[in-house]
Amino acid sequence: MYWFLLLTPFIIPFILKPFLRNSLTFQEMGIQGILCMLVVVVIWNIGKANQVADVEIWNGNVVSKHIEDDWYQTSYSCPPCTKSCTGSGSTKSCTETCSTCYTDHYTREWFAKLSTGDKAQFKKIDTESKRRRDNAPEPARYQNCVVGESASVERTYTNYVQAEGIASTIYDTNWKDLPFANVVPSYPRVFDFYRINRVINGYGNNIKAFETALNDKLSLHLQKVGYQKQANVVVVLTTIQDQSYRYTVENAWLGGNKNDIVVFIGLGEGKEPKPTWVDVMTFALNEGNETLRVELRERLSKEWVLDGAAMADIMIEEVVKHYTRPTMEARNHLAGDVAPSAAMIWTAWILMLLMSAGLTYFFHKHDVDIIGAIREAIARRGRRGRYNRRYR
């Protein structure tokens, strides 16, 4: 498909050539083909990049919080102005030259530095009044930021596995036809600058305290372990007793992100529910992490208590012992199989046809001779050189 799209811009002018014999030159046909081909190449590569662009969660903590003041100037034209003219009558032209004045700008930024190397900017003001800048109130979110608290950020990375044509060879991309597809949760995302709810509670409010304690303790552990093991932990709590639910979520999430450990816990009924099943999912069908899956599943089943902090400790202990983050470098061979989506290919096709038609009409109305212009420029330069040598 790629080569067909690249060659099509050159085929169209040749089809139109018999009808525009005297107004469309071979040079213009070549220019038209090259310009259209460049558009196809750009759209094709944008489409490929979109296919493999993904986001993973990095974990750390707030290192420090800062208020930073700065100052800069912008320029503009202002009086006095002077007017100068040249020529006379119909050839007279005038220009006005004014002085340059400057406006002072005063800025203040409230932000926190994170151990991941990122910066959480809570607010920034830009005013022409220094007093207004100096008297600006602190944002509530900056005041509530606590040095040392857990912080997560979203980082983009290349994920070949999620590309169309590749994902379907590993996962069931028709997951909406699978059991429990209507209750597949959304993947957790960062909110409120750096917070995340990594525990998905599909059980109910009667274990809300357990959910909160588990979420907080996992995030606390991941301040260090997240960096050491390059890992992120997500927990899915559910009332669904059928373990196939785990595979529906895995197919919907395409295995999660490459640094994810997703723990599924199916809970029974009661005031202090116990797990009826436990399973663990890591990227690329648990590649390299089968031991983690087995050990963590067994420990949670045997040592279960409705204590979020205690369960978080068990999860992190097993992650430290057994988790190995899969690398995307091991899948670089998949890069050649990545192609834009059908929508992007149709977009490239339509734009190429419209551009080709527009350029054909332009060349039909206007003569373009780039090669002739270059030859003329070279000839003029040669004549000027001979003239200079003659009268040196």
Instruction: Give the model confidence (pLDDT) of 240-298 as tens digits.
Output: 999 999 999 999 999 999 999 999 999 998 888 999 999 999 999 999 999 999 999 99
Statement to judge: residues 279 and 184 lie in one domain: yes
| Rounded alpha-carbon distances, angstroms, from residue 120 to 42, 114, 123, 183 | 33, 7, 9, 33
Which residue(s) pair with 266 in the sheet? 238, 277
Checking if the pLDDT of 306 tops 70, the result is: yes
pLDDT of residue 245: 97
How many domains does the structure of the chain reveal?
A: 3
- pLDDT of 16 higher than 90: no
Q: What is the pLDDT of residue 348?
A: 83
How confident is residue 146, by pLDDT bands cut at 50, 70 and 90? very high
The two three-digit tokens of residue 59, written as one number: 């974990």
- Residue range 189-200, pLDDT digits in tens: 999 999 999 999
- The one-letter code for the residue type at 67 is I
Please check whether residue 222 is in contact with residue 199, taking contact to mean a CB–CB distance below 8 angstroms: no
Using alpha carbons, select from 116, 61, 62 the residue that is nearest to residue 230: 116
Same domain, 21 and 136: no
For residues 256 and 222, state if they share a domain.
yes
| pTM of the predicted structure, to 2 decimals | 0.81
Helices 308-322 and 208-228 meet at what angle, rounded to 10? Answer: 20
The answer to whether residues 283 and 324 belong to one domain is: yes
Domain endpoint, select from 98, 118, 151: 151
Q: DSSP state, 186?
A: P
Contact 329, 296 (CB under 8 A): no
Contact residues for 149 (Cβ-Cβ < 8 A; gap 6+): 61, 62
On whether residue 143 sits in a domain, the answer given is: yes
Q: Which domain holds residue 137?
A: 63-151
CATH no. for residue 295? Answer: 3.10.310
Distance in angstroms (rounded) separating the CA atoms of residues 139 and 24: 65
